[in-house]
C-alpha cells in the first residue's frame, strides 16, 4: 500500500514468556479488524476488535463476549482507565502496566511485525 511501506497483510504467531501460544492477523485490504488469539489449556481468548475480549471454553466452539464494568463508557475502552492509572499517585493498584523499558521492548516487537526495521 502507498501509505504503509511494508504492506497491508500481517500474520504471525508465537509463544509468550509463560509458554502460551498466540497468533495475530490483520489485513487492511479486506474487511474486518486486527485480531489476536491466545490459547491456554483451559480456554481460548480473542481480542477482535482489540478492545473486546471473547472466550471459548474448553470443549466448546461457542465464543462469548467477556463483559467488563467501564468507568468511562463513552471513551475508547481502556483508554481513560489507563490514563487514570498513569496519573495516579496510589501505587497499590494491582494493575501491572509495563515500565518504559518494557514498553520499548514491546515496541520493538511491533516494529518487527510491521516490517519497519530491516
Three-class DSSP labels, 76-88: CCCHHHHHHHHHC
Query: Which pLDDT score is estimated for 43?
Result: 94
Can you tell me which residue has the cell 497499590?
92
Q: Are residues 88 and 59 in the same domain?
A: no
Among the three residues 67, 93, 109, which one is the final residue of a domain in this structure?
67
Query: Which pLDDT score is estimated for 96?
Result: 66
Q: Are residues 19 and 44 in the same domain?
A: yes
Query: Which pLDDT score is estimated for 42?
Result: 93
45 - beta bridge partners?
38, 55
Spans of the chain below 50 pLDDT: none
**By residue range, what is the domain housing residue 101?**
69-118
Query: Which pLDDT score is estimated for 29?
Result: 83
Query: Which pLDDT score is estimated for 1?
Result: 64
Q: Are residues 49 and 12 in the same domain?
A: yes
Query: Which pLDDT score is estimated for 88?
Result: 77
Domain tally for the chain? Answer: 2
Query: Which pLDDT score is estimated for 118?
Result: 58
The Cα–Cα gap between 77 and 72 comes to 8
Among the three residues 36, 52, 67, which one is the final residue of a domain in this structure?
67
Query: Which pLDDT score is estimated for 44?
Result: 94
Q: Are residues 22 and 36 in the same domain?
A: yes
Amino acid at each position: 500500500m502507498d501509505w504503509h511501506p511494508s504492506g497491508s497483510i500481517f500474520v504471525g504467531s508465537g509463544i509468550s514468556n509463560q509458554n502460551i501460544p498466540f497468533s495475530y492477523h490483520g489485513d487492511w485490504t479486506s474487511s474486518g479488524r486486527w485480531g489476536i488469539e491466545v490459547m491456554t489449556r483451559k480456554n481460548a481468548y480473542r481480542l477482535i476488535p482489540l478492545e473486546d475480549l471473547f472466550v471459548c471454553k474448553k470443549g466448546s466452539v461457542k465464543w462469548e463476549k467477556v463483559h467488563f464494568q467501564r468507568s468511562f463508557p463513552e471513551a475508547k475502552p481502556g483508554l481513560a482507565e489507563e490514563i487514570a492509572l498513569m496519573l495516579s499517585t496510589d501505587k497499590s493498584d494491582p494493575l501491572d502496566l509495563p515500565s518504559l523499558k518494557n514498553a520499548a521492548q514491546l515496541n520493538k516487537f511491533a516494529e518487527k511485525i510491521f516490517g519497519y526495521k530491516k
